[in-house]
């Protein structure tokens, strides 16, 4: 039985791994490269799911029908509902609801609950957060200790600033809101339904529904000195 740092890894035991993979294939799970898939004996995979090379399902995972998992995923004690796609990503004690897409290179940490029909994309980290139906965080964002409503767009580089150095605080983003690129939402804060947060803003107060919030410093432009003057 495989072991690292004192923890058992039964899915890496060669004999048990091969037997488990073959049992899944026999019940209709599609595994194109069985030598490169690792499945815990406590994991459940529904028929029609596809496990691509580099997939490791650890602990008590549940993978729904017609999911596509992999390539290169590490999924630990998590549930992925039917018709979802997870690729090149890490999931830890997370839930992916029906028809959602995770990855590539996403990280769902404990308490992440995504979807249905949502998207968490490139280099996005989600922790202790609920992301609603059809919401999108497509790239380079951190969503932590948050409640994100249906149809929300979280722009590239947006961050929920959840920790004040002592206590974690929650951010609420209501249905239909748009959070622009490189926005910082300093919790506790609420972004109202269909509100718009402008790119580059730092938001420290609640934003009412159907409003636009700007929180930028004023741009200053000065003449640049010539090379000789700058010496």
Question: What are the tens digits of pLDDT across the range 214-225?
Answer: 998 888 898 988
pLDDT of 6 strictly over 60: no
Asked whether residue 153 is assigned to any structural domain, the reply reads yes
At 7-25, the pLDDT tens digits run 677 778 888 889 999 999 9
On whether residue 124 sits in a domain, the answer given is yes
This prediction has a pTM of: 0.91
Question: How far apart are the C-alpha atoms of 98 and 87, rounded to whole Å?
Answer: 15
Q: Per this entry, what is the length of the chain?
A: 231
Residue 99 placed within a domain? no
Question: Rounded to an integer, what distance in angstroms lies between the CA atom of residue 126 and that of residue 220?
Answer: 35
Work out the pLDDT band at 230, boundaries 50, 70, 90. Answer: low
pLDDT tens digits for range 96-131: 999 999 999 999 999 999 999 999 999 999 999 999
pLDDT recorded at residue 96: 98
Q: Sign (positive/negative) of CA torsion 22, 28, 31, 36?
A: negative
Pick the more confident residue, 17 or 159.
Answer: 159
pLDDT of residue 229 exceeding 60: no
Give pLDDT, residue 7: 61
Range of the domain at 156: 117-216
Does residue 75 lie within any of the structural domains?
A: no
Output the pLDDT for position 2: 41
Torsion angle (degrees, nearest 10) of CA 68, 70, 71, 77: -170
Catalytic residue among 17, 95, 130, 139: 139
Judge whether residue 227 has pLDDT over 70. no
Residue 220: predicted pLDDT = 86
Q: CA nearest 82: which of 122, 34, 48?
A: 48
pLDDT digit string, tens, across residues 176-217: 999 999 999 999 999 999 999 999 999 999 999 999 999 988
- Looking at residue 13, its pLDDT comes to 84
Number of domains in the chain: 1
Is residue 162 situated within a structural domain? yes
Residue 25 lies in a domain: no
Tell me if residue 139 is catalytic: yes
Interval 23-46: pLDDT, tens: 999 999 999 999 999 999 999 999
pLDDT tens-digit readout, 66-93: 999 999 999 999 999 999 999 999 999 9
Task: Say how far apart CA 126 and CA 142 lie, in whole Å.
Answer: 6
* Residue 1 pLDDT grade (very low, low, confident, very high; cuts 50, 70, 90): very low
Residue 91 within a domain: no
Q: Which of 102, 108, 63 is nearest to 85 (CA)?
A: 102
**Does residue 137 sit within a domain?**
yes
What count of Cα atoms within 13 Å lies in the side-chain half-sphere of residue 103?
19
Residue 3 has pLDDT above 70, yes or no: no
CATH of the domain at 193: 2.160.10.10
């Amino acid at each position: 039985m495989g072991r690292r740092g004192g923890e058992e890894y039964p899915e890496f035991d060669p004999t048990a791994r091969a037997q488990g993979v073959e049992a899944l294939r026999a019940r209709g799970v599609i595994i194109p490269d069985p030598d490169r898939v690792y499945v815990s004996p406590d994991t459940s995979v529904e028929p029609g799911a596809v496990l691509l090379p580099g997939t490791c399902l650890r602990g008590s995972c549940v993978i729904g029908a017609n999911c596509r998992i992999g390539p290169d995923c590490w999924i630990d004690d998590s549930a992925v509902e039917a018709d979802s796609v997870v690729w090149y990503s890490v999931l830890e004690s997370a839930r992916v609801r029906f028809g959602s897409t995770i990855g590539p290179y996403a990280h769902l940490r404990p308490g992440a609950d995504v979807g249905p029909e949502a998207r968490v994309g490139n280099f996005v980290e989600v922790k202790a957060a609920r992301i609603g139906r059809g919401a999108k965080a497509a790239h380079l964002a951190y969503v932590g200790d948050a409640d994100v409503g249906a149809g929300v767009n979280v722009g590239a580089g947006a961050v929920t600033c959840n920790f004040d150095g002592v206590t974690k605080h929650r951010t609420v983003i209501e249905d239909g809101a748009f959070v622009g690129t490189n926005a910082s939402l300093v919790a506790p804060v609420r972004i109202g339904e269909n509100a718009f947060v402008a790119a580059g803003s730092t938001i420290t107060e609640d934003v009412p529904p159907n409003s636009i919030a700007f929180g930028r410093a004023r741009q200053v432009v000065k003449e640049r000195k010539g090379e000789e003057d700058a010496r």
